[in-house]
Chains A and B, each alone.
Chain A
């Protein structure tokens, strides 16, 4: 979806403000939100792409004015309601009013936590040979799906060069909508800065994205 989350190339947000000696969390509730998202994900309540999509669908004015973990909280609560794990009555009451729904992988217990600290695997067997070779010129499609996609707006329609082939991975556009993993070849595609940003762009800049094969056409 063409949401405010797709920020590459937008102007007007001001300076980057590094914080010296930044703490891991700025408030205790932030840590609880992170832990709840991790635990519910590990329990199989949702996949990572679905959770990203729910953060993207936060209304733009709320997205832009909410802190990072506030967005995580808003996305989590809405997702759990829509997936049937919670009801609005539960939330309004602040207690479990309705019965629980079974979790696909069961509740994450303390002894399972270390397992969740190991990064997940997203590579899958290839359903077909790769369409593009390293060094080949490709054009990012001019597509505007209203659901989740990982093709940022700022490259759409532009020509780049395939630099790396990462194998076949879970396709976020399908997984986010719970339509299956639909594995697709994944490439690093590099663009010239001036192709993206025009003649006034930084001539020393190259930008790459990781692009799934359905995002690309031969150029």
Chain B
């Protein structure tokens, strides 16, 4: 009895999906299509190099450097290409600025398009049906799910990423950050505030 139980337990540790994924990697490796070391390197890059810290650096620089901000809004890809290590962004990044009159929000209703090079891989909610379905119809309702409330009369602009253009929200700089360094400012920039589903952290509030 207990042996059976043990056996079942072992079996359930590998889900059907996990077994199928392992089998596919075995086949692709045996056929010479993929190099497991290259797969490891891809995963490592997404786990360590590519993440919202890249976008946060761009936002903090835009808050600190008016000429960079102007260039960024004019041509996001070109402006970011001057920043060295984080310039994996390619040619099609559009940066959209929040103002007291307008709040921007990014979605991909058709799949999961997202500025990977700036923000890393998208969170599950961004790729899931509730966000993809409602963001274009009821963005205030979606923001309420994040605990975010906007003034009643502010314009909400939702950008549906239906092509290879990618969008990054430039949030408003928090008050009380005069004289802060770019590094200090970058620590206030959250992933969600660059998607438009949140605001930057307030200065002095522990993260």
Q: Does B146 contact A (CB under 8 A)?
A: yes
Indicate if A136 sits at the interface (CB-CB under 8 A). no
Q: Which residues of A lie under 8 Å from residue B20 when comparing CB positions? A: 73, 77
Contacting pair B162 A121 (CB below 8 A): no
Q: Is A169 an interface residue (CB 8 A)?
A: yes
- What is the 8 Å Cβ interface bit string for chain A, positions 27-69, against chain B (1 contact, 0 not)? 1010111111011100101001000100100000000100110
Q: Is A151 an interface residue (CB 8 A)?
A: yes
Are A117's CB and B92's CB within 8 A? no
Residues A97-120 near B (CB distance < 8 A): 99-100, 103, 107-110, 112-114, 116-120
Q: Is B88 an interface residue (CB 8 A)?
A: yes
Using A91-B23, A123-B92 as known contacts, say yes or no to A36 and B130 having CB atoms under 8 A apart: no
CA distance A99 to B159 in the complex (A): 45
A179 within 8 A of B: no
* Any B CB within 8 A of the CB of A127: no
B133 contacts A8, C-beta separation under 8 Å: yes
Q: A85-B33, A110-B35, A118-B90 are in contact. Are A6 and B42 (CB under 8 A)?
A: no
Decide if B46 touches A27 in the complex (CB within 8 Å): no
Closest CB in chain A relative to B108 CB, distance in Å? 10
Question: Do A205 and B161 touch (CB < 8 A)?
Answer: no
- Provide the residues of chain A in CB contact with B129, threshold 8 Å: 7, 10, 13, 64
Q: Which residues of B contact A40 (CB under 8 A)?
A: 28, 33-34
Contact B160 A207 (CB under 8 A): yes
B46 nearest in chain A by CB position: A24
Given contacts A13-B133, A14-B130, contact A36 B163 (CB under 8 A): no
Shortest distance between the CB of A5 and any CB in chain B (Å): 6
Q: Is A141 an interface residue (CB 8 A)?
A: no
A202 interface hit (Cβ, 8 Å): yes
The answer to the question of B65 belonging to the interface, with a C-beta cut-off of 8 Å to chain A, is no
The reply to whether B163 and A210 form a contact with Cβ atoms under 8 Å apart is yes
B156/A205 in contact, CB under 8 A: yes
Which stretch in B56-64, B111-119, B170-178 binds the other chain? B111-119
Interface residue count on the B side (C-beta < 8 Å) = 81
Q: Are B39 and A107 in contact (CB under 8 A)?
A: no
B163 A169 Cβ-Cβ under 8 A: yes
Q: Please judge, given known A-B contacts A91-B24, A118-B90, whether A103 and B33 are in contact too, CB under 8 Å.
A: yes
A70 within 8 A of partner (CB):
yes
Separation in Å of the B124 CB from the closest CB of chain A? 6
Interface contact B26-A208, CB-CB below 8 Å: no
Contact A35–B28 (Cβ < 8 Å)? no
B29 — nearest CB in chain A belongs to which residue? Answer: A96
Choose, from B1-9, B134-142, B179-187, the stretch at the interface: B134-142
| Interface membership of A166, Cβ < 8 A | yes
Q: Give Cα distance in the complex from A40 to B39, angstroms.
A: 10
Report the minimal beta-carbon distance from B48 to chain A, rounded to whole angstroms.
9
What are the interface flags for A6-19 relative to B under an 8 Å C-beta threshold, 1 for contact and 0 otherwise?
11111101111111
The answer, among B22, B43, B138, B154, for a CB contact under 8 Å with A34, is: B43
B35 touches A186 (CB 8 A): no
Question: In the bound complex, how far is the Cα of B143 from the Cα of A18, in angstroms?
Answer: 11
Residues from 27 to 51 in B contacting A, C-beta threshold 8 Å: 27-28, 30-35, 37-43, 45-47, 49-51
Task: Compute how far the CA of A76 lies from the CA of B124 in the bound complex, rounded to whole angstroms.
Answer: 19
Q: Using CB atoms and an 8 Å cutoff, list the residues of chain B in contact with chain A.
A: 17-18, 20-28, 30-35, 37-43, 45-47, 49-51, 88-92, 94, 109-112, 116-117, 120-121, 123-125, 127-140, 142, 145-146, 152-166, 192, 197
29 inter-chain pairs at a CB distance below 8 angstroms, sorted by A residue, are: A7-B132, A11-B134, A14-B130, A17-B125, A18-B146, A29-B18, A31-B46, A36-B28, A39-B42, A45-B33, A80-B28, A90-B27, A94-B23, A107-B34, A110-B41, A113-B41, A117-B49, A118-B88, A118-B90, A118-B117, A119-B90, A122-B91, A166-B163, A169-B92, A202-B139, A204-B156, A205-B155, A207-B158, A211-B163
Which 4 pairs show the lowest CB-CB distances between chains A and B? A119-B90, A8-B109, A210-B163, A96-B30
